[in-house]
Structure 1
Amino acid sequence: MEQGPEAATPDGGRADEGDAFAARLTDELPRLVRLATRLLRDDDLAEDCAQETIVAAWQRRDQLRDPAALPAWLRRSLVNRIVDRSRRHHDELDIETVEADWRDDSYTVLPERVLEHAELRDELEDGLARLPVIYRLPVVMHDALGWTGAEIASAMKIGLPAAKQRLRRGRMMLVSALAEDDARRKASLAQPLRCWRARRHVSAYLDGDLDAATIATVERHLESCPTCPPLYASLVGVRDTLGELRDADAVIEDEIAGRIRARLERERVA
């Protein structure tokens, strides 16, 4: 039976599917480039990682069974590349050392000095570079890019509790990195809550993840403790400064995205 001119051929159908997939990759590209540039501090390396992710996704498009899973699929692929290519900083912080400081009730910082460092782009990025990549990723994803805990967990292939723990630890490490020269100790007063117990809750407190009773306990502690409020103020200030990076470097990111789109088009028509 002869088909009408409007009937699609099998090859035409596959071409349409390919065009639709390429369009979806293009839509996801700005977010991938933004993540790569924030984490790698090297525009060329960020472009390489984002491009490799897009090209690999195009070449393996037949493996994606659920079209709705594409964003998470791309993020996991990019994160794997970033982790593989991230160089260990010569002065990388150790989480056990940082947590030992934060467990010490007498440990505190000068928040005004921390924020001075955080507001200088180079110093903020130097501080981030000192975080091990597994802690740097959640901090940048959440505080600089606005990702949810669930998105971070999916991208890093970990559970949500682990993602929240890494975010908490990463935030503490970043404050410690920015405050290292200014860290000081005070004699601790008797508190309604031990400092470490309060400090463990601060990250969740900032994100609104605590129940009312715990919030009240943390706030009572902050009202009477001489050492925790400066740490809390530093966490808030650094988080807010990271949030200001969301719109930074837009021109560079657009240029990178444009080059990757051109590469994707070459792959599509090859």
Structure 2
Amino acid sequence: MATKATERTPSPTAESRHDGRLADADDRVVAGRAADGDPQAFEVLVRRYSTLMRVYARSILGTDDEADDVVQEAFVIAWQQLDSLEDPGVVKSWLMRIVSRRSIDRLRARHEHQDIADYDPPAEAAAAPAQAAQTRSLAAAVGTALASLPGEQRRCWLLKEVAEYSYREIAADLELPESTVRGLISRARVNMAREMQAWR
């Protein structure tokens, strides 16, 4: 009996190897496992995308507290609905859509439109000091460039470039004609390129 119990209980070393394999696996594998109810796989998704989701939510909402709440809500929704995701390989954009919709819902509930002024992509943990400094400089330049854009251009640019929305999805979420969205993103890209010239 003791032998069977031991066989059924993975050793810490085996669990560590399992976690390591999941951490190195691509999104399709990890999301597929999470959709099957594997909490360790879902935790990998949380670690992999929570920072990006928080940055994006904070950019829309303007406050860290609300961004944290929205990200938590998004992951609860994701855990409940993962089995409905037809292509696990697109889990990143799917998660970004959820956090975007939750953020926009909060904006609408407040009956106001706050500026989206700080986009701060995280540096890689193992980045060398010079590379980290360059990343911080780029983040500051992007934040300054975004701050110079009109509000609708900023929202459209973030949804397209950060959340990886299609034009149609942006139009639906922001309740704008698709032609307007295309125009806003086109102008935003021109303005961003102009503002970023000094950094280059």
When normalised by structure 2's length, the TM-score is 0.50
RMSD across aligned C-alpha pairs, in angstroms? 4.4
User: Contact 1:138–1:152 (CA<8 Å) still a contact in 2?
Assistant: no
Q: Aligned AA for 1:167?
A: I
Choose the corresponding residue for 2:183, options 165, 188, 194.
165
Choose the corresponding residue for 1:131, options 151, 157, 167.
151
The answer for the alignment partner of 2:43 in structure 1 is: 22
Identify which range, 151-160 or 28-37, moves more after superposition.
151-160
Aligned residues: percent identity? Answer: 23
Choose the corresponding residue for 1:238, options 158, 178, 195.
195
Relative distance call for 1:122 and 1:154 in structure 2 (3 A) is: closer
The answer for the alignment partner of 1:153 in structure 2 is: 166
Deviations 1:166-213 (A, max 9, x none): 3125x3xxxxxxxxxxxxxxxxxxxxxxxxxxxxxxx5xx5xxxxxxx
Alpha-carbon distance in 1 for matches of 2:183, 2:73: 30
User: Contact 2:156–2:170 (CA<8 Å) still a contact in 1?
Assistant: no
Deviations 1:51-90 (A, max 9, x none): 1111211122332333212112111111111222224349
Equivalent residues in 2 for 1:11-50 (5 A)?
Answer: 17-50=38-71
Partner secondary structure for residue 91 of structure 2:
helix
* Structure number with higher relative contact order (C-alpha < 8 Å, ≥ 6 residues apart): 1
Partner secondary structure for residue 65 of structure 1:
coil
Partner secondary structure for residue 60 of structure 1:
helix
Provide runs of 4+ in structure 1 moved above 3 Å. 13-16, 121-125, 154-164, 234-237
Choose the corresponding residue for 1:71, options 68, 71, 92.
92
Equivalent residues in 2 for 1:165-204 (5 A)?
Answer: 165-169=183-187, 171=188, 203=189
Alpha-carbon distance in 2 for matches of 1:141, 1:157: 7
Structure 2 spans left out of the alignment, 5+ residues:
11-32, 116-139, 173-177
User: Contact 2:145–2:196 (CA<8 Å) still a contact in 1?
Assistant: no
Partner secondary structure for residue 88 of structure 1:
coil
User: Contact 1:76–1:155 (CA<8 Å) still a contact in 2?
Assistant: no
Q: Aligned AA for 2:112?
A: R
The alpha carbon displacement at 1:157 in A equals 5.0
When normalised by structure 1's length, the TM-score is 0.39
Alpha-carbon distance in 2 for matches of 1:163, 1:40: 20
Alpha-carbon distance in 2 for matches of 1:90, 1:34: 15
The alpha carbon displacement at 1:16 in A equals 7.2
The alpha carbon displacement at 1:123 in A equals 10
Structure 1 spans left out of the alignment, 5+ residues:
92-117, 172-202, 207-233, 245-270
The answer for the alignment partner of 2:112 in structure 1 is: 88
